[in-house]
Amino acid sequence: MEAQKIKMSNSGYRLLNPGDIIGERYQIEKHLGGGGFAVTYLAQDINLPNRPSCVVKQLRPMFRDPWILEDAKQRFVQEAEMQRRLGNHPQIPQLLAYFEENEELYLVQEFIEGEVLDKEISKKQLNETEVIALLKDVLTVLDFVHRQSAIHRDIKPSNLIRRKSDDKIVLIDFGAAKEIGTLVFDPEIKATFTRAIGTPGYMPPEQYMGRPNPIYASDIYALGKTAIYALTKQEPRDLEDTATGEIKDWQKTNPDNTAVSHKLAFILNKMIRPNASERYQSAREVLSDLEPLIKVGKKIGDNYKIIRYLGGGIWGHTYLAENLQQTYQSPCVIKQLKPQTLDPKIKQQIEQRFDTEIAVLQRLGDHDQIPKLWDRFSENQEFYLVQEYINGEDLSKELRKGKRLSEKDVIRLLKDVLTVLDFIHRNGVIHRDIKPSNLIRRNSDGKFFLIDFGIVKEIVTLSESTSKPRSSTQPVGTEGYMSPEQMVGKPVYASDIYALGTTAFQALTGKAPEDLVTNPETAEVILEKGQVSKELANILNKMVSLELTKRYNSAEKVIRDLQKIGAGPGPIIPFIKWGAIILGTFLLVLSPFMIKAINLRMIFAKGNEYYNAEKSQLAIDEYDKVTSKDANFHEAWTNKGFAYGRLASGSIADDQKNSYYNKMLDSCRVATNVNDESILAWMCLGEAYKSLNMLDEAITSLNKAIQIDPQDPAIWINRGEAFLINKEPENALPDLEQAIQLLGNVNDQNYLSSVAWYMKGWALRDLKNFERALEAYNKSLQYDPNYFFAQLGKGISLRGLQQYPQALSTFKDMLNNPQLTDKEKIQTLYWYGLTLCDSGMTTEGIDAFDQVLLIDSNHQSSIDAKNNCRN
């Protein structure tokens, strides 16, 4: 077939018409879409049997300046190769060819038969289950894309196609190719730049403002806006606040009033936060939060259909479900429990203990204020409990609405729950996690039900190194409600009473546990005048006494004292003499050593609070109190060492730094002497030696830590850094690769992964392997796009590869960050100056070094570089 005569546009680009043939094989069928920067056509490959359909994309630089055309061609090849790699994913169109013809650039891609999402939504808005499936589909693709160091830049409903053959979502029309059309030339620095790519309404603020380097969080923002459009059938721009551009309360604008769960609303709102640093930083983070919602609408355990997600945490997730076989048990509550181990032997131990504890929970269900356990099953190496659904509202929701309970209501609450506690304690069970959200007030009669027992949570935290619960490091319970002895992994019946007393104080005052005002001498809670009777205040303070010997040791005793202040008749519980004798004996065994240990643990915990709040000196003061009373408390010595290290890292004089580092060294030495099997103590010692530039000693200390636990990636990273500082990159590289391998098996380690890849880049850069170094730095930035040292290393590697425009763009982007410290500015400006000089821009390079010297007039490297650049 003879091609038609090709016409030219006003800008000099030819306009393709049906019948035109390009690349000697692709015959145009029709125009699909596009604008001034790129135009898309449907075509046929006439060189193949059956003439399969394909998509031709014609890229059009805005200007035909020779500088721009040359840069466009280089970018075109780079982006084409990137799209070839991306096409390996089954939900991204394959790149079939790319070529230049008559000074015009073409991409040829696989044709996807299906319907674009915006057309699908125009016919029918999606419900929550469908949107969750959409998010999972696209996020899985985005995770792949971002791991290839690519960013889509233009996610929107029209760039998502639901493939006809399998209903999968295919991601099309990557913005990087369009970017070529926006190239402009700056004659002053003889460099080309691009405009922002994206679509208003879906484009995040940082992309709209023309940030030079896009970030992964930009794609997440655009996908969040797409999901909201799918749920509401309203364009994001129509929902935006005209003053701020933000979308608020979008759930209320839903025309069909389709229900959106709090969990999904939270996820979507976090995806579209205007401040990129407050957004999800990776697709995997979103998938992790979305994971419990994926079960909604699905069938599990053969008999149950998930209706709604109710909540969850590290222990597992809770759902409202329908029993498809026994409809009289609908609705029901299903608890999914996730063992925190990969070891099959430990999993077997968990299952055996799970069976034992299930029998206990079944007995507890005999009480009419504890949900009945109806079923249990295992699926995909996860455990599930099926329990009676209590139609009511938990106390935490009442309190969140600003409601406070009267004294009379609090007394009834206490009697209600104490009756249940007495029952479970007589069955040898400690609840371990009493708090407002685990107390449900039943609508039918106002009675409180006790839910979510801690014994099952304890089972799923069995570690891979021991068959015992990790109670010493991760006690079951909720901070603020846990008693001192429970915090150190030694709960007793009185621990439940402590938690209930704290809950009662919260119900009376409306204040969370950490906000309650206490007397510093007696530790009693101070209440407002007239807020509660003296009798109830005395009972509550006895319930929450920090000293176990002064606290109520049975629920029955609390009820007896409550009955003395009235508020209606309460249940009379027979005194269980044998229980009191056993508990009393237990307390005698613990005293006084247990009380001393609890008090020291509380001081230690206070020190940790100060440390986490970056109040290092106050933390050291608390650790000193601990070690003065117990010189063998190695954790206090270790944490004291780290606190001195943090003080040394501040902006202080060099002699003060060395003083702090020497104190760190002394503390960490004591810690290793007290307990030479403590990994943290040896890591602390290694860090102290490293900071004092005693690198051989640092490596020896970290060798010891690796001997104790070779599976901890942080130790390998620390030793790798020591090798790097000691100018031994060839020794550092295996350590960092080992850390990366270990981190591949660990979830939620974005920070460590970012550091490991950054240091690998450092090692490779020292070995002059700039290409692999650049790959490592890009990998680091996938985990943390704002990691300064990885950004700097990327720029330095680009300079090493003599890719000067890209290096300059990287450094300029870093210098636009208003949060850079002076030290970071100096490093960035120094390398920026070197790159400018390498590029022949002497004046600009000298100016960069002058900016360094304005901050630090004695920066010798910049002085030398300035002279070299001038010469």
Give the model confidence (pLDDT) of 86-124 as tens digits. 888 999 999 999 898 887 889 999 999 999 999 999 998
pTM for the model stands at 0.56
Strands (E), 46-159: 53-59, 95-101, 104-110, 114-116
* Cβ atoms of 109 and 93 closer than 8 Å: yes
Between the CA atoms of 46, 52, 54 and 58, what dihedral angle is there, to the nearest 10 degrees?
A: 10
pLDDT at 188 over 70: no
Strand partners, 376: 385
CATH 2.40.50.460 fits 392-588, yes or no: no
Give the model confidence (pLDDT) of 568-625 as tens digits. 333 333 332 223 323 333 333 333 444 445 567 778 878 887 887 788 999 999 999 9
Question: What's the CA gap between 494 and 496, in Å, rounded?
Answer: 5
* Cβ atoms of 767 and 731 closer than 8 Å: no
Taking alpha carbons only, the member of 147, 120, 145, 123 closest to residue 133 is 120
What six digits make up the tokens of 458? 């304890």
SS3 678: coil
pLDDT, averaged across the chain: 82
pLDDT at 800 over 50: yes
Give the model confidence (pLDDT) of 524-572 as tens digits. 777 776 678 889 999 999 999 888 888 998 999 999 999 887 543 333 3
CATH 3.30.200.20 fits 7-110, yes or no: yes
- In this chain, the answer to whether the domains covering 7-110 and 392-588 adopt an identical fold is no
H/E element, 376: strand 373-379
Mean pLDDT of 318-333: 89
H/E element, 310: strand 304-313
- Out of 20, 154, 173, 422, pick the active-site residue: 154
SS3 2: coil
SS3 488: coil
Taking alpha carbons only, the member of 335, 439, 435 closest to residue 393 is 439
Percent of the chain topping pLDDT 70: 81
Residue 654 annotated among the catalytic residues of the structure: no
Site of tokens 């410290």: 821
For the chain, the maximum distance between any two Cα atoms, rounded to a whole number of angstroms, is 104
| pLDDT attached to residue 456 | 62
Site of tokens 């001195």: 644
Give the model confidence (pLDDT) of 628-673 as tens digits. 988 888 889 999 999 999 999 877 888 888 999 999 999 999 999 9
- Domain spans, the chain: 7-110, 114-292, 297-388, 392-588, 592-709
Question: What's the CA gap between 794 and 179, in Å, rounded?
Answer: 21
Mean pLDDT of 737-753: 72
CATH 3.30.200.20 fits 297-388, yes or no: yes
Give the model confidence (pLDDT) of 826-868 as tens digits. 999 999 999 999 999 999 999 999 999 999 899 999 999 999 9
Choosing among 1.10.510.10, 3.50.50.60, 3.90.245.10, 3.30.930.10, the CATH entry for 114-292 is: 1.10.510.10
Helix axes of 804-815 and 822-838: crossing angle, nearest 10 degrees: 160
What six digits make up the tokens of 749? 């380690």
SS3 807: helix
| pLDDT attached to residue 521 | 62
Fold entry, domain 592-709: 1.25.40
Q: Which of 379-388, 390-399, 527-536 has the highest mean pLDDT?
A: 390-399
* Cβ atoms of 86 and 36 closer than 8 Å: no
CB-based burial label for 493 (10 Å; 0-12, 13-18, 19+): buried
Give the model confidence (pLDDT) of 450-462 as tens digits. 988 876 665 555 4
State the number of CA atoms in the 13 A half-sphere of 471 facing the CB: 17
Distances (CA, A) of 45 to 19, 50, 91, 170: 12, 9, 22, 22
532 vs 185, higher pLDDT: 532
Taking alpha carbons only, the member of 207, 181, 330, 333 closest to residue 279 is 207
Taking alpha carbons only, the member of 27, 58, 32 closest to residue 43 is 27
SS3 384: strand
Question: What's the CA gap between 700 and 696, in Å, rounded?
Answer: 6
